[in-house]
Amino acid sequence: MKTNLFKLLLVMLLLTVFSACEDHNVPSDVIEQKGLLLSPEQEFPVKDSEAYGWADVSYNKTTKLLSYTINWYNLSGLPSGAHVHGTALRGANAGIKHDFFSSIPKTTTGSYSGSVLVDGVAINETDLLNGLYYFNFHTPLNPGGEIRGQIEFYNQPHIISKKGLSIDVMQEVPAKNTSAIGTADVSYNKNTKVLSYYLTWKNLTSIPTGAHIHGTAPRGVNASIKHDFFNLIPKKLAGAYSGSVLVDGTAINETDLLNGMYYFNIHNIIYPGGEIRGQIEF
C-alpha cells in the first residue's frame, strides 16, 4: 500500500470529523457527504497508479440537484474522460450517466465543481441514496478509468458505517508477530442488504494467498469463510481493495453482522491461517 494513500486516508478521516461540526447548518431537504475518496484501488480491476482524489457531494431532495466538487492529483496523463457512472456497487462497473469531461481542466492535478439533475432517467434518486453511482476519471494509460470514487451518503437512517477499523496481527488466533497492518472502512445498507467495504494493507511478510470474510465468531475465536474476494485483490505486500457482498441471510446474516460476528482475514504462504485480521464492528 502506498504511503501517500495512508496519509490521504488520515486526511479524509479528519475532514469527516470537522465536517460533522457543520451538519447543523444543512437544510432538512439536503443530504451531503464530504471527503469521499477517489483512488485507483476502487477501479475494477484495480489500477497501479499514484493518482488519488476526493469529492464533496450534496443532494437537494426538493430541487433534485446533485452538486459536487472533485479534486484530483497525480494522474498518469491528461484526463481523457470524467463521468458519473451507474448503477453499480463497489467492485462492479457500469455505463456513463453524466459526462462532465468537457468542463474540467485538462490537467493531471485539478479541481472542478458541477451539478447534475437527478431526473429519474439517467440518475435515479433511490439508487443515488443507496450508493449505486460513482465518479470515474479516465486517462490514455487507463482508458477504463484511473481513479474512481463511489458516491455514498452515510448520514441516512438505513445506512450504518464505520471508518478506520484495524486489521492487525494481534487479532489473529493465535496472534502473529509481524509488522503487517491494515484498515477497513465498512458500510451496511439495511434497504439493499449490501455490505460495502474498502480495505488497505501493508508490510505483509509474503504476497496474499487468501482474502476473505469469516464468521460467525467473536474476537478471539476462529470461523470459516463466508465471502471470498481473493481473486479480485492486488497480489502485493501492500495494497487496497474496494468491494461489496450481499447479506443474504445464509452466508452472512444481518443480525450476526450487526453484532460483530464476522471478520476480515488476509492469508499468505507463511501464515496460511491468516496474518492480519479485523473484526467487523459498527
pLDDT score at 12: 52
Mean pLDDT of 104-111: 99
Q: Specify whether 211 is located in the same domain as 138.
A: no
Q: Specify whether 113 is located in the same domain as 13.
A: yes
Mean pLDDT of 26-51: 95
pLDDT score at 17: 44
Mean pLDDT of 215-233: 98
pLDDT score at 9: 52
For residues 75 and 111, what is the distance between their CA atoms, to the nearest angstrom? 12
The residue ranking higher by pLDDT, 6 or 175, is: 175
Mean pLDDT of 43-68: 98
Q: Specify whether 67 is located in the same domain as 14.
A: yes
Q: What is the strand order of the sheet 30-38 is part of?
A: 30-38, 52-60, 65-73, 110-117
**Number of domains into which the chain is organized:** 2
Q: Specify whether 134 is located in the same domain as 195.
A: no
What would the grid cell of residue 24 be? Answer: 447543523
Mean pLDDT of 174-189: 99
Residue 18 pLDDT greater than 60, yes or no = no
Helices (H), ranges, 69-167 = 125-129
The residue ranking higher by pLDDT, 228 or 6, is: 228
Residue 117 pLDDT greater than 50, yes or no = yes
Residue 255 pLDDT greater than 60, yes or no = yes
For residues 213 and 198, what is the distance between their CA atoms, to the nearest angstrom? 13
Per the CB < 8 A criterion, the answer to whether 178 and 277 are in contact is no
Kind of pairing between the strands at 262-268 and 65-73: unpaired
Residue 155 pLDDT greater than 80, yes or no = yes
**What is the residue-averaged pLDDT of the chain?**
94
Mean pLDDT of 194-209: 98
For residues 182 and 79, what is the distance between their CA atoms, to the nearest angstrom? 31
Per the CB < 8 A criterion, the answer to whether 116 and 127 are in contact is no
Tell me the CA distances in angstroms from 10 to 30, 163, 191, one per residue in order: 26, 11, 29
Count the residues in the chain. 282
pLDDT score at 27: 78
User: pLDDT band for position 14 (50/70/90)?
Assistant: very low
User: pLDDT band for position 2 (50/70/90)?
Assistant: low
Amino acid present at 112: Y
Phi first, then psi, for residue 206 (nearest 5°) are -155, 160
Q: Specify whether 179 is located in the same domain as 207.
A: yes
**What's the pTM?**
0.88
Residue 134 pLDDT greater than 50, yes or no = yes
Q: Specify whether 34 is located in the same domain as 52.
A: yes
Per the CB < 8 A criterion, the answer to whether 280 and 264 are in contact is yes
Q: Domain residues for 126? A: 3-151
Single residue among 151, 169, 191 that ends a domain in this structure: 151
For residues 156 and 138, what is the distance between their CA atoms, to the nearest angstrom? 31
Residue 71 pLDDT greater than 80, yes or no = yes
DSSP H or E stretch at residue 14? helix 3-20
Tell me the CA distances in angstroms from 240 to 35, 230, 256, one per residue in order: 18, 12, 26
pLDDT score at 8: 54
Q: Output DSSP code: residue 39.
A: B
Mean pLDDT of 240-254: 98
Q: Specify whether 33 is located in the same domain as 115.
A: yes
User: pLDDT band for position 4 (50/70/90)?
Assistant: low
Single residue among 151, 183, 201 that ends a domain in this structure: 151
Going by C-alpha positions, the residue among 158, 138, 149, 219 that lies closest to residue 185 is: 149
Mean pLDDT of 52-70: 99
Q: Specify whether 111 is located in the same domain as 211.
A: no
Q: Specify whether 27 is located in the same domain as 98.
A: yes
CATH number at 105 reads: 2.60.40
Q: Specify whether 10 is located in the same domain as 119.
A: yes
Q: Specify whether 32 is located in the same domain as 147.
A: yes
Q: Specify whether 101 is located in the same domain as 230.
A: no
Single residue among 123, 151, 179 that ends a domain in this structure: 151
